[in-house]
Structure 1
Amino acid sequence: MPEGDTVWNTARVLHRALAGGRLTATDFRVPQLATADLTGATVLESRSRGKHLLLRLRVPVPAQPQPGAEGTARHGSRRLTLHSHLRMDGAWRVYAPGERWAARPAHTIRAVLRTADAVAVGYHLHELALLPTAEEERLVGHLGPDLLGPDWDPAEAVRRLAAQPTRSIGEALLDQRNLAGIGTLYASEVLFLRGVSPWTPVRDVPDLAGLVALAHRLLMANRGRWTQSTTGSLHRGRTTYVYGRRAEPCHRCGATIRRREQGERITYWCPVCQPGPG
């Protein structure tokens, strides 16, 4: 499941494969970008913002004649950003030129970017958009502090959470307007490790700052690898305490792990280690 660390990893893969290269061909298979052609654009960088991916480009502008200078033309460029969101099922894969695209069925492809050295293929991408880089805030400006961003601000994350005192902490953690990058896996695991029921009102969480700090440490620890682990183990079936372990025994107390819908998402918890509502 793509969470902040997975999106960060994806951005790094795209950056390493494409940054500094010039696009030799592009193919967008979504209606809103059906006529877009970025051939000739230079890839400047790939960055994540919470669960959003931002591929920044320098696109050449067709030459325009200069007034009063017959026979000469002025060349220029503009900065554009290709924005995508992975949601639950999206993914970018990078292939060598000529390599078979075997990751997913062809009908799920939404974007193809080619350079001389690599081919980036986007599957099941969501919110795919092309916009001026200076206007990125239109799509990501609503997000809270990015857990993996260079401008991470834990005090601001705590302030935003505390501003909704009656909301359940499980739902508040998943609201990207409070802090960006945390998903159902990390929300469930952080609350287990802090001994807090997901249904506890934010005002009753004993140490919001400690909870936020733990979320940051967990995502930072998993940044750079694809196997997500909150237990310290990378062995199958031992990577999480509660997430994905419904009806299995709690590693800590042996009680049966539970799973239930909370709002529009799913949460996992141990009824003994996390006593309280729910």
Structure 2
Amino acid sequence: MPEGDTVWNTARVLHRALAGARLTGSDFRVPALATTDLTGWTVTESASRGKHLLLRLTAPAPVTSTTAWTLHSHLRMDGVWRAYALGERWTARPAHLIRAVLRSAEAVAVGYHLHELALLPTAGEERLLGHLGPDLLGADWDPAEAVRRLAAAPGVTIGEALLDQRNLAGVGNLYKCELLFLRGISPWTPVGAVPDLPGTVALAQRLLAANRGRWTQSTTGSLRRGQTSYVYGRRAQPCRRCGTAIAKEDLGERVTYWCPTCQPAPPPAGPGTPPA
């Protein structure tokens, strides 16, 4: 499941493969871009904003009066970009999941199961992404602003609030669960009842930053298989702190893992409180 650090890493992979290169071909397998041809366009950079990928390009001057464009994609739950050397076999996913192919003289970037794939003027990025909160791994990171946005809705559960990208951009289910365990906070605690909200926000940023530059996400400090998380993905396994069985609840596509002992439910119980 791509989270902010995974998207940051993906942006760097694309940047290394394509930045500065002139495209020798493109193939889009989505209706809105089916006739779009980026041959001759130059890739200037690849960047991320929260969970959004931004591949910035310069169009040849005769093509359009606006030369700065951005290919925007969102990975959601299952999207992925891979970069291959010319002639290398594409192995990431089945071919029917390919949504975009970008070729240069030295590399090929292939996007699988991409969402919200769109080409827009770079000047219009803010209209598309301006609703996002501060990016945990971006130059715009502002912990005070993230705290302000979270605190603006004190009745919302902290689990929901952390996943709302309008508050802070980059946290997904894994970091939500791990962060709240480390802070000893029940996911169903109202934001207004969270002790030391600035400390929670600061830890969220440190967790993502610690995994920047590597694909194995770890919140425990260990990169060994089965030892990278405290609660996420560990349903019914003993808590690493107290031995209580880790609990799990499915809420649509959202999954929450927590330790009932280390993260006791806040009194009084209200709507949305997990079953005993």
Instruction: Report the TM-score, using the length of structure 2 for normalisation.
Output: 0.95
- Are residues 1:139 and 2:151 paired? no
Aligned to 1:69: none
Q: Structure 1 residues 54-63 or 38-47, which shifts more?
A: 54-63
Task: Supply the distance in 1 between the matched residues of 2:161 and 2:127 (Cα, whole angstroms).
Answer: 22
* Greater Cα radius of gyration, structure 1 or 2: 1
Within a 5 Å distance, the mapping from 1:26-45 to structure 2 comes to: 26-45=26-45
User: Identical aligned pairs, as a percentage?
Assistant: 78
Aligned to 1:115: 104
Secondary structure at the counterpart of residue 59 of structure 2 = strand
Aligned to 2:89: 100
Secondary structure at the counterpart of residue 206 of structure 2 = helix
Report if aligned partners of 1:170, 1:262 keep a CA contact under 8 Å in 2: no
- Are residues 1:270 and 2:252 paired? no
Instruction: Report the TM-score, using the length of structure 1 for normalisation.
Output: 0.94
Task: Supply the distance in 1 between the matched residues of 2:32 and 2:252 (Cα, whole angstroms).
Answer: 31
For structure 1, the residue ranges without an aligned partner over 5 or more in a row are 64-74
Task: Supply the distance in 2 between the matched residues of 1:264 and 1:208 (Cα, whole angstroms).
Answer: 26
**CA shift for structure 1 position 61:** 2.7
Q: State the 4+ residue runs in structure 1 displaced beyond 6 angstroms.
A: none
Q: Structure 1 residues 144-153 or 259-268, which shifts more?
A: 259-268
**CA shift for structure 1 position 138:** 2.1
- Are residues 1:221 and 2:206 paired? no
Secondary structure at the counterpart of residue 212 of structure 1 = helix
Structure 2 CA distance for partners of 1:122 and 1:38, relative to 1, 3 Å: same
Secondary structure at the counterpart of residue 21 of structure 1 = coil
Within a 5 Å distance, the mapping from 1:1-278 to structure 2 comes to: 1-62=1-62, 78-262=67-251, 265-277=254-266, 278=274
Total equivalences in the alignment: 267
Task: Supply the distance in 2 between the matched residues of 1:55 and 1:103 (Cα, whole angstroms).
Answer: 20
Report if aligned partners of 1:146, 1:152 keep a CA contact under 8 Å in 2: yes
Report if aligned partners of 2:66, 2:121 keep a CA contact under 8 Å in 1: no
Task: Supply the distance in 2 between the matched residues of 1:111 and 1:204 (Cα, whole angstroms).
Answer: 45
Structure 2 CA distance for partners of 1:170 and 1:22, relative to 1, 3 Å: same
